[in-house]
Structure formats: C-alpha cells, structure tokens
C-alpha cells in the first residue's frame, strides 16, 4: 500500500508539473475555405493561406472547389454554386461535429448560402469573412482581358437583372444598383434571398443567427468592392448614391431581417478593419483576427509561439 501511495503521489506531481511546463494544446475543429472570383483551390495564395492556418491552429483545413474554379466562379449561378457546396460539406464526415467557414470575397456568399440554405448540413460554428460583398456591390469586379472577361463584358451590356445575365454571370447575383431597386428585387436571383429582402424566411434567419461568431474583415484600400463597407453589411441608402450607411443604419439591420442585429447585440459580430487592398492580409493580421476563431480553447493559445513574416502580405486576389 505504501508503494502504491508513493506511486500515486509521484504521478500526480508529474501531471501538475506538465501543466506548468508545457502549454495546453488549443482544441480545434476543421475549417473550410470558399475562394473568391477568378480563383481556384489550386492557386498558390489559397493553398498557402490554408496551410499556414492549419499549422497554426492544429486543425484540418479544406478548400471546397465549385465546378472548375476560375471559369465557374464567373459564370455559374449562385443557387447552383450553393447547392454544390451544400452537398460537398454533407459528404465530408470530417465536418459532422461542426466546422468553421472562411470566406474570401465572393466566396462569402457561397459560405452564407451554406449556412442559411443547406438543409441537413453539419453545424457551422464561426463564419470568418474576408472582404465579403454581404450587402451587395454596385459595380462588377475588375476582370481583365482574358476570354472569360470578354464574355463578362458582353453580359454586362445586357440587362443585369435579366434572366440570361443572372443565369450566366455569377456577380450579377449580388449586384445591387441603389437607384434600380425595383428591377433588383424582381430579377436578382440570390442576394435578395439570403438577405431576406423580399420573402422573410425565418429558417434562414434562425440558421444565420445561430453562429457562435461572425467575423467581418474589411480592407481599407479595397477598390474591388463598391462600396468596401459592404464587407461590414454597410451600403448605399435606397434610391441614392450620395452616402454610405453603416450596417446598423440599414433596414436589414434595424428590422433584423437575417439576425445580424441579434448577433451584434449578443457580442458575436466582430468588425475588423485592416489596411491592405482587396484580400491583401498580413501574417500578423491573420494571427490576430482569424486564428483565434479556428480554435476551441483560446486561453491556451499563445500568439507569441508562432513565427512568421509579420507584416508581409499574402495576396489572395488576382484579377488575371
């Protein structure tokens, strides 16, 4: 008995010493990334971004591709993109106990579509949004001179809210011209739906407001999103280009169409402003504003343990 007692005392002492000498591992759950327009899961910026965050958090990160990447990011309707994403997350057993979503620009709308529209999908804990066009955009993102951009220019010349353009130009699904709201509500196929602008769907609101955290990162020098404040759900007032309303002055917020106000009042919305251009985020900013929402036990997370290139930017947007 004496030997056993001494053994138990020694074992307890070793366990206590381990708690003080070695930091507790920060628990984490998987995360998925939905990339932006003109991008693909194979591109170096996206793969590096995921690798860095996976290494830091200890969680598995996945990029979910919709169709063939670049081409379909421009041409596939958003309801179809969301349906594909929904089926993919449901098929991933790794996500069954919950996961986080990181949205990059346009990919945020796919992510929100999964949160709000995906019946039977695994639970989403946190939505971390980098430059998301949540309240819409008033201009098509810069494209370039490639074949896909020639098609985009042709479609833009047609009626932006007409059926043909809505079915063949993905950004048309979230273009919101503040002085053409009647046509927007009649013709725009995706943004009015997930923002509960026309038919108020209580299920969409319930699912969105069930998030543990909504992290909204706006890029101060963003010239791709017009206005950049859409990253925070800010937008032009109805019928005017004169000013930009902050999120809490929009009708979407004051009438709480999707649960944004409820989340905000519960302290679950984080409004973050970083200094770079569209999707130009530094390692320091990733560590400070993204990493904490990828781990379960943030008290065990010591940011000083991570070595990286500080203020060096990771460029996650390429207009080609």
Residues involved in catalysis: 105, 222, 278
**What is the Cα–Cα distance from 37 to 69, expressed in whole angstroms?**
8
Strand 269-274, strand 213-219: pairing:
parallel
Q: Reduced to 3 DSSP states, what percent helix, strand and coil does the chain have, rounded to the nearest 5? A: 45, 15, 40
C-beta of residue 63 within 8 angstroms of C-beta of residue 88:
no
Burial of 242 (0-12, 13-18, 19+ CB in 10 A): exposed
Output phi, psi for 259, to 5 deg: 95, 10
- What is the 8-class DSSP label of residue 286? I
In sequence order, the 6+-apart residues with CB closer than 8 A to the CB of 93 are none
Helix (H) or strand (E) holding 45: helix 44-57
Task: Determine the distance from the C-alpha atom of residue 299 to the mean position of all C-alpha atoms in its chain, rounded to a whole number.
Answer: 24
Residue closest to 52 by CA, chosen among 286, 214, 276: 286
CB atoms near residue 256 (< 10 Å): 17
**What is the Cα–Cα distance from 242 to 239, expressed in whole angstroms?**
9
């Amino acid at each position: 008995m004496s030997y056993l007692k001494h053994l138990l005392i020694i074992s307890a002492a070793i366990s206590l010493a381990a708690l003080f000498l070695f930091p507790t591992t920060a628990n984490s759950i998987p995360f998925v990334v939905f990339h932006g327009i003109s991008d693909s899961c194979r591109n170096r910026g996206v793969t590096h971004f995921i690798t860095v965050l996976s290494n830091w958090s200890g969680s598995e990160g996945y990029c979910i591709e919709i169709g063939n990447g670049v081409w379909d990011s421009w041409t596939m309707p958003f309801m179809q993109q969301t349906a594909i994403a929904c089926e993919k997350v449901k098929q991933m057993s790794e996500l069954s106990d919950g996961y986080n979503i990181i949205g990059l620009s346009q990919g945020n709308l796919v992510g929100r579509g999964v949160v709000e529209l995906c019946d039977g999908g695994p639970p989403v804990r946190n939505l971390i949004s980098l430059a998301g066009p949540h309240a819409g955009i008033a201009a098509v993102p810069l494209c370039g001179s490639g074949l896909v951009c020639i098609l985009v220019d042709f479609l833009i010349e047609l009626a932006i809210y007409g059926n043909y353009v809505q079915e063949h130009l993905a950004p048309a699904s979230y273009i919101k011209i503040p002085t053409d709201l009647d046509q927007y509500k009649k013709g725009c196929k995706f943004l009015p739906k997930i923002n509960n602008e026309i038919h108020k769907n209580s299920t969409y609101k319930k699912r969105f407001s069930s998030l543990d955290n909504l992290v909204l990162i706006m890029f101060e020098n963003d010239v791709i999103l017009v206005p950049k404040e859409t990253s925070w759900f800010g937008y032009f007032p109805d019928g005017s280009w004169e000013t930009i309303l902050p999120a809490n002055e929009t009708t979407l917020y004051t009438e709480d169409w999707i649960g944004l106000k409820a989340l905000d009042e519960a302290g679950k919305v984080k409004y973050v402003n970083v200094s770079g251009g569209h999707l130009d985020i530094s390692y320091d900013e990733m560590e400070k504003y993204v990493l904490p929402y990828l781990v379960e036990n943030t008290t065990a997370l010591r940011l000083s343990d991570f070595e990286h290139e500080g203020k060096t930017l990771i460029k996650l947007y390429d207009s080609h």
